[in-house]
């Protein structure tokens, strides 16, 4: 099977699994760039580990190590599928190590920064109210910005205190809504109703369409610049990281944070948060099994 044909078959299989269009497009880009590197008419069974290493090395010239590591992950999914479908006998990526990725320290926003950002949108108009509540929603629930933009009015149940969110891979999850957030949402819904927007999206654009993710990012960036904040820190995704880190530090378990964020594995959540020793020690001290079992011995004074 030619590499070009294998790519098309793989993307068809990805679509049949109901993966998001964005994910399918990304897989297509990664495999397509490999095909350009080694030749689209190359027999997929003859692609070697050396070919993959050379491809990843070439990508390092214009991409960050983290991006290239993601390329390797995408190729592993592709070749693993080829092995499972018996198109090839071996996976050439098994012997390929990704680039060393510097440890990422996630941005955790301070309360003062969030308060300052909220003050950037004064007034009671729809857009200003929407922007403020969007900040609170991201901070309280840890939603991805795409999930925020896709959220419909019907997906929010203020009585049950939950929102039904469609996440990555079209996986649905229930996200809890705190009492303060529900109060803000009730006020926002009254403002939204008065605006008479012809849309089912909760955070609709001012014209009634879907609020685009890049429009959210642009709104946050402009507000940050207007209030003297660092625009890089005010990216919407940093509110997700801040929500997750704050939940953990306030006593939520890593498993609960995983469920709220919509990660498939708790190890992903740990890496995502960039947990350091201080975080783990604080969590362990508050939830030590020895303390819970009443087995913590009282320190005795040393005799001199």
Tell me the average confidence (pLDDT) per consecutive run of 10 residues in the chain, 304 residues long.
94 88 90 92 93 93 87 94 93 89 77 93 92 94 93 94 86 90 94 92 93 95 95 92 85 82 77 61 65 61 50
| pTM (two decimals) | 0.67
Q: Measured between alpha carbons, how far is residue 212 from residues 160, 161, 208 in Å?
A: 28, 26, 12
Of 132, 192, 240, 241, which is the active-site residue? Answer: 240
Of 95, 171, 237, 249, which is the active-site residue? Answer: 237
DSSP-derived letter for residue 88 is -
Q: Is 249 a catalytic residue?
A: no
Q: Is 87 a catalytic residue?
A: no
pLDDT at 303: 47
pLDDT at 280: 58
Bridging pattern class, strands 172-176 and 162-166? antiparallel
Residue 107 and residue 233 in contact, taking contact as beta carbons nearer than 8 Å:
yes
Closest CA relative to residue 138, chosen from 232, 193, 189, 213: 213
Q: Is 207 a catalytic residue?
A: no
Angle at 157 between CA 154 and CA 160, to 5 degrees: 155
Of 27, 71, 126, 272, which is the active-site residue? Answer: 272
H-run or E-run covering 164: strand 162-166
Every domain of the chain with CATH number 1.10.150.130 lies at 3-95
Q: Is 104 a catalytic residue?
A: no
Every domain of the chain with CATH number 1.10.443.10 lies at 111-286
Residue 6 and residue 82 in contact, taking contact as beta carbons nearer than 8 Å:
yes
Of 37, 168, 210, 221, which is the active-site residue? Answer: 168
Third-level CATH fold of 3-95:
DNA polymerase; domain 1 (1.10.150)
Residue 134 and residue 216 in contact, taking contact as beta carbons nearer than 8 Å:
yes
Third-level CATH fold of 111-286:
hpI Integrase; Chain A (1.10.443)
pLDDT at 55: 94
pLDDT at 18: 82
Task: Give the pair of three-digit tokens for residue 239.
Answer: 């509110």
Q: Is 240 a catalytic residue?
A: yes
Of 72, 132, 258, 263, which is the active-site residue? Answer: 263
Q: Is 263 a catalytic residue?
A: yes
Of 59, 130, 132, 144, which is the active-site residue? Answer: 144
């Amino acid at each position: 099977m030619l590499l070009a044909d294998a790519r098309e078959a793989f993307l068809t299989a990805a679509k049949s699994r109901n993966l998001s269009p964005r994910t399918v497009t990304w897989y297509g880009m990664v495999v397509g760039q490999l095909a350009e590197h080694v030749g689209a008419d190359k027999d997929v069974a003859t692609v070697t580990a050396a070919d993959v290493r050379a491809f990843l090395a070439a990508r390092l010239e214009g991409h960050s190590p983290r991006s290239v590591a993601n390329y390797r992950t995408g190729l592993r999914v592709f070749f693993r599928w080829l092995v499972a479908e018996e198109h090839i006998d071996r996976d050439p990526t098994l012997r390929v190590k990704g680039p060393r990725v510097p440890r990422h320290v996630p941005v955790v926003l301070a309360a003062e920064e969030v308060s300052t950002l909220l003050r950037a949108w004064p007034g009671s108009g729809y857009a200003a109210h929407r922007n403020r509540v969007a900040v609170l929603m991201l901070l309280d629930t840890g939603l991805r910005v795409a999930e925020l933009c896709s959220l419909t009015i019907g997906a929010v149940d203020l009585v049950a205190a939950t929102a039904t969110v469609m996440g990555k891979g079209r996986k649905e999850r229930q996200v809890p809504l705190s009492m303060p957030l529900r109060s803000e949402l009730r006020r926002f819904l009254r403002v939204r109703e008065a605006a008479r927007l012809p849309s089912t999206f909760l955070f609709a654009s001012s014209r009634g369409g879907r609020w685009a993710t890049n429009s959210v990012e642009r709104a946050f960036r402009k507000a940050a610049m207007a209030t003297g904040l660092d625009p890089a820190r005010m990216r919407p995704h940093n509110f997700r990281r801040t929500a997750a880190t704050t939940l953990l530090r306030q006593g939520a378990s890593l498993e609960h944070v995983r469920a709220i964020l919509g990660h498939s594995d708790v190890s992903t959540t740990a890496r995502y948060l960039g947990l350091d020793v201080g975080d783990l020690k604080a969590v362990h001290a508050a939830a030590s099994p020895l303390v819970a079992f009443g087995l913590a011995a009282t320190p005795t004074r040393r005799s001199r």
